[in-house]
Amino acid sequence: MEKFEKQIRRVAEGKGFIAALDQSGGSTPQALLGYGIQEEDYSGEEVMYRLMHEMRVRVMTDPAFSGEKILGVILFEKTMNGFVGDIPVPEFLWQKNIVPFLKIDKGLQQIEKGVKLMKEIPNLSVRLNEAKGKGIFGTKMRSVIYANDESGIIEIVKQQFEVGKVILEHGLIPILEPEVDIQSDEKRVIESLLREAILAELDKLSNDQKILLKLTIPTEANFYSELIQHKNVMRVFALSGGYDLDRAARTLAENRGMIASFSRALLEDLKVDQTSAQFSKVLSAAIDEIYQASIT
C-alpha cells in the first residue's frame, strides 16, 4: 500500500509527463519503420516484437530517460512481461521513480455513429490481476471519435467509464482515452460534446473513484479546465494525435494543467543506426521539449 500511495502522489502531483511506449499489433511495423527498420529486415511476429522490445529497452535505459522528467510509462503487454537485463520492466521503471501503466485495449471496432468503440477485452479480470501482480499501477485504453454524432460520442464515453470502473475494482487506476481525430472538420464541436459527456459520467462516480483522462489537445486553449479541476480526476494527459513534436509541445503549453502522454512525438527522431551519443542527444532534446510544455 505504501508503494501504491507513493505512486498516486507521483502521478497526481509530480512535475513531468507520461511516455507512451505501447505500440502493438498493427502499429508495430509502422513504429519500427519510423525507427529505421524496414519490414523486409525481419520475418515473423516473434522477430518483430523482439526488435520492438530492443528499441524500448534502448529508450528506457538511456540516461536521459529518468524519473527527473518522466512520471510514468505506458507499456504494451509484451513489454510488461519482458526484462531489462534480468529485471522485470515494471520493477526497472519504478527503480527509476517512473510509474508503470499497461495498455489493455485490444483494438477498435468498425466505425459506427462516427466513432470506433473498443473491441471486447477478453479475460479482463485475469489480465488486471496479472498486471497488478507484476507491479502495474494503472491501465490505458483507447477509442476514437471521428465525427460530430452526439449519440456516438456518448456511447464511446460510457464504454470507457464502464471498463474504467472494472479496473478500479481491481485496485488499478484507469486512463480513459476517447481520442478526437485531429483531421475532423468539426473537432471543436466534437470536443464540446465530449466534455459534457465526460462530465456527466464523472458526476456518477463516488468520491473515492479517481480516474485519469488522456485527451487530444483541444482546439481552444484550456477547454478542459473543468475536467482538470474535477474531484474525480487525478490528472489529465494530452495525446499528440499525429501532431509532430514541435506543434504538439507548442499547443500543449497553452493548456494549463494538462501534461503530455506522447508516443510518436517522443520517438519520431530516434533511429536504429544512431550511435549511443546521437541517440541520447535526440532523446534528451525531445524529453526536454515535452517536459517544458508539460510544466508551463
Beta carbons of 238 and 261 less than 8 angstroms apart: yes
Which one of the listed residues 103, 116, 140, 214 is annotated catalytic? Answer: 214
- The amino acid occupying position 271 is K
* Phi, psi torsion values for 219, nearest 5 degrees: -65, -40
E runs forming strands in 114-267: 115-116, 138-145, 173-180, 211-216, 233-239, 258-262
Which one of the listed residues 155, 177, 191, 201 is annotated catalytic? Answer: 177
Q: Grid coordinates standing for 225?
A: 479546465
40 is annotated as an active-site residue: no
Local structure of residue 118 (DSSP, 8 states): B
Beta carbons of 261 and 278 less than 8 angstroms apart: no
- CA–CA distance, 259 with 72 (Å, rounded to integer): 11
**Residues facing 73 on adjacent strands:** 19, 100
Q: Grid coordinates standing for 45?
A: 511476429
Which burial class, exposed, middle or buried, applies to 273 when counting CB atoms under 10 A from its CB (0-12, 13-18, 19+)? exposed
Beta carbons of 169 and 132 less than 8 angstroms apart: no
177 is annotated as an active-site residue: yes
Q: Which of 139, 1, 18 is nearest to 67 (CA)?
A: 18
Q: Which of 143, 127, 204 is nearest to 175 (CA)?
A: 143
Residues with a known catalytic role:
177, 214
